[in-house]
């Protein structure tokens, strides 16, 4: 009789063990489809218990207990990374654990176009939820922060490389700006490796000239010629006479550049002041940087817009005046 009870108890235990192991295996390695697209935020410092419970509450995993056991058995209980995770497809709990350990968090992509100035970049970053626009600009003008970055300027104008950036939501504005400045440094190193420098400009002056070239033309093949005009004018101590710099120096520019604007004193008025303006007026792309470092061999001193996105270049004032009459006065 006693043997029968032992036999039964053993049988119950074996059945229970198989059921438990089967449930554990099923809960950990059988894919589970979330009820809808689920987004789960894991706060920094969260315990394994709270993470597992959150995942179970959102029906990302079947069992918080087995998830915790797996994490502890694999020695990953303290390796789960904070961030926001999206779950859209069927996935086993083991795969969910892999994602949290790898930090496979949602990322934001943002594209900064060539020729954007600091105000425009700050507005775009604000729209992406990085921070308030005024706080981003304040960070870009923070003297201590600029000193840490090695930027010897009053702001990061021109130092934020135009590119598509991927970052984790919640990134600080300082870290994102640092990322963009680092990209500019990488592009300048890339330029140095080409070993074709024909310029005596320092980094700040090169970025300044490149930003003007970027604003003057969207035609990359014209950029070395635009650069040559500015080099030739600087060599002859002629004012650069470039509209984009004047526009940059006008607060709340309304889109209409007037004769009065050209006659109004400003550090950025290159009609009244000779030489380069105090700093960049926008973020130049690589082709503009390359053109600033490698101007074309040319004796051009003037250019005028043809009205189709390209320019007519001239070596003498007489030629230039004829081009102005042809392309601007008749349009």
Which of 76, 102, 128 is a domain's end point? 102
Identify the domain containing residue 26 by its residue range: 20-102
The answer as to whether 169 is a domain residue is yes
Radius of gyration of the chain (CA): 31
pLDDT attached to residue 186: 94
Are residues 159 and 58 part of one domain?
no
Nearest to residue 207, comparing CAs of 226, 188, 232, 222?
188
pLDDT at 17: 44
What residues pair up with 87 in beta bridges, in sequence order?
Answer: 38
Q: Which pLDDT does position 24 carry in this prediction? A: 47
Give the integer Cα–Cα distance in Å for 253 and 247.
7
User: Are residues 205 and 286 located together in one domain of the fold?
Assistant: yes
Query: In this structure, are 315 and 263 located in the same domain?
Result: yes
Do 228 and 291 fall within a single domain?
yes
The DSSP call for residue 82 is P
| pLDDT at res. 5 | 59
State residue 25's pLDDT score: 46
Last residue of a domain, one of 136, 162, 190: 190
Residues 48 and 162 in one domain: no
Same domain flag for 231 and 304: yes
Quote the CA–CA distance of 153 and 323 in Å, as a whole number: 38
Residue 148 lies in a domain: yes
Q: What SS3 state is found at 303? A: strand
What tens-digit pLDDT sequence spans the chain (331 residues)?
Answer: 555 655 555 554 444 444 444 454 445 556 666 677 777 888 878 899 999 999 999 888 888 888 999 899 989 888 888 888 888 888 888 888 998 888 887 778 899 999 999 999 999 999 888 889 999 999 999 999 999 999 999 999 999 999 999 887 778 899 999 999 999 999 999 988 776 656 788 999 999 999 999 999 989 999 999 999 999 999 999 999 999 999 999 988 888 888 888 888 999 999 999 999 999 999 999 999 999 999 999 999 999 888 888 998 899 999 998 988 888 765 5
**What is the pLDDT, as a whole number, of residue 147?**
95
The dihedral built from the CA positions of residue 146, 147, 150 and 151, taken in this order, carries a sign that is positive
Task: For residues 249 and 181, state if they share a domain.
Answer: no
311 and 269 in one domain?
yes
Structural domain tally of the chain?
A: 3
Q: Domain check: are 76 and 54 in the same one?
A: yes
In this structure, the answer to whether residues 90 and 154 fall within a common structural domain is no
Q: Do 211 and 181 sit in the same domain of this protein?
A: no
**What is the rounded CA–CA span in Å between residue 277 and residue 154?**
13
Please check whether residues 205 and 232 belong to one and the same domain.
Answer: yes
pTM score over 0.85:
no
Please tell me the total number of residues recorded for the chain in this structure.
331
Q: CA 275, 119, 112 angle in degrees (round to 5)?
A: 95
Q: Phi then psi for 177, rounded to 5 degrees?
A: -65, -40
> Is residue 167 within a helix (H) or strand (E), and if so which, with residue range?
strand 164-167
> Is there a domain that residue 46 lies in?
yes
Last residue of a domain, one of 190, 209, 240: 190
């Amino acid at each position: 009789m006693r043997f029968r009870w032992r036999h039964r108890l053993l049988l119950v235990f074996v059945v229970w063990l198989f059921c438990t192991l089967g449930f554990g295996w099923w809960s950990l390695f059988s894919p589970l489809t979330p009820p809808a697209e689920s987004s789960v935020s894991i706060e920094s410092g969260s315990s394994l218990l709270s993470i597992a419970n959150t995942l179970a509450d959102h029906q990302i995993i079947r069992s918080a207990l087995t998830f915790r056991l797996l994490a502890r058995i694999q020695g990953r209980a303290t390796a789960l990374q904070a961030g926001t995770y999206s779950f859209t497809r069927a996935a086993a709990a083991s795969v969910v654990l892999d994602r949290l350990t790898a930090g496979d968090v949602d990322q934001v992509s943002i594209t900064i176009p060539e020729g954007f100035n600091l105000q425009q970049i700050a507005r775009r970053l604000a729209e992406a939820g990085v921070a308030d626009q005024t706080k981003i600009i304040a960070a870009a003008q923070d003297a201590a922060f600029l000193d840490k970055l090695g930027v010897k300027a009053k702001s990061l104008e021109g130092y934020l490389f135009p590119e598509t950036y991927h970052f984790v939501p919640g990134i600080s504005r300082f870290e994102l700006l640092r990322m963009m400045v680092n990209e500019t440094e990488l592009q300048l190193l890339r330029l140095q490796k080409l070993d074709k420098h024909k310029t005596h400009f320092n980094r700040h002056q090169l970025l300044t000239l490149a930003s003007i070239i970027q604003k003057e033309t969207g035609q990359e093949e014209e950029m070395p010629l635009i650069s040559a005009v500015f080099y030739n004018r600087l060599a002859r101590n002629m004012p650069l006479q470039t509209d984009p710099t004047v526009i940059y120096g006008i607060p709340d520019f309304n889109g209409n550049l007037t004769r009065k604007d050209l006659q109004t004193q400003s550090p950025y008025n290159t009609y009244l002041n000779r030489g380069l303006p105090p700093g960049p007026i926008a973020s130049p792309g690589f082709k503009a940087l390359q053109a600033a470092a490698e101007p074309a061999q040319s004796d051009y001193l003037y250019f005028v817009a043809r009205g189709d996105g390209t320019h007519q270049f001239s070596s003498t004032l007489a030629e230039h005046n004829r081009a102005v009459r042809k392309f601007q006065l008749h349009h």
